[in-house]
């Protein structure tokens, strides 16, 4: 198989395409979270912290405010991902898993006892089952 054919086979695999889609959606989701943090959370934090413009805190040449802002941004993104993806999808998967299993027995119409589905005769009353 030539290099071109191998590369084409690699690219057209389902998991590679799914990964590409996930990266694009993740980038868009990151923009939403960044806008949420910058527009809503950071202004609220600026009211709580003692100095007004805490994002511009500087110690010498070290920009402490930007580092603090990035850490808060990371914690919020991690929290949203945890709540939405891990807990949300986990709850949906749990609901699907809780679906009742297919019955493994049936009721004999003559004696009303439970017998296996594959049984052709009732083991209790020996009646022939359909």
- Per-residue pLDDT tens digits for 70-84: 888 788 778 877 887
Residues 87 and 117 reside in one and the same domain: no
Q: Quick one: DSSP state of residue 99?
A: S
- pLDDT tier at 113 (50, 70, 90 boundaries)? very high
Q: Could you tell me if 32 and 61 lie in one domain?
A: yes
Q: Enter the pTM of the model.
A: 0.45
Nearest to 72 by CA among 60, 64, 84: 64
Same domain, 15 and 59: yes
Claim to verify: residue 106 and residue 92 sit in the same structural domain: no
Contact, 55 vs 28, CB < 8 A? Answer: no
For residues 105 and 92, state if they share a domain.
no
Q: Which domain holds residue 53?
A: 3-97
Question: Which residues, including other chains, have CB under 8 Å from residue 122's CB and lie 6 or more apart?
Answer: 108, 110, 111, 113, 115, 129
70: left (phi over 0), alpha (psi -120 to 50) or beta: alpha
Q: Please state, for a pLDDT cut of 90, what percent of the chain lies above it.
A: 13
Count how many domains the chain has. 2
| Same domain as 46, residue 28 | yes
70 in the same domain as 42:
yes
- The alpha-helical segments, DSSP class H, found in the chain are 3-11, 14-36, 42-48, 64-81, 89-97
């Amino acid at each position: 198989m030539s290099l071109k054919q191998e590369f084409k086979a690699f690219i057209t695999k389902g998991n590679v395409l799914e990964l590409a889609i996930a990266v694009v959606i993740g980038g868009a989701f990151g923009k939403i979270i960044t806008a949420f943090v910058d527009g809503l959370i950071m202004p609220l934090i600026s009211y709580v912290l003692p100095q007004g413009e805490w994002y511009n805190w500087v110690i010498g040449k070290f920009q402490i405010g930007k580092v603090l802002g990035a850490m808060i941004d990371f914690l919020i993104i991690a929290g949203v991902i945890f709540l939405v993806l891990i807990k949300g999808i986990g709850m949906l998967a749990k609901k699907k898993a809780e679906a009742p299993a297919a019955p493994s027995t049936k009721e004999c119409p003559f004696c009303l006892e439970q017998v296996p589905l594959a049984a052709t005769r009732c083991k209790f009353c020996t009646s022939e089952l359909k």
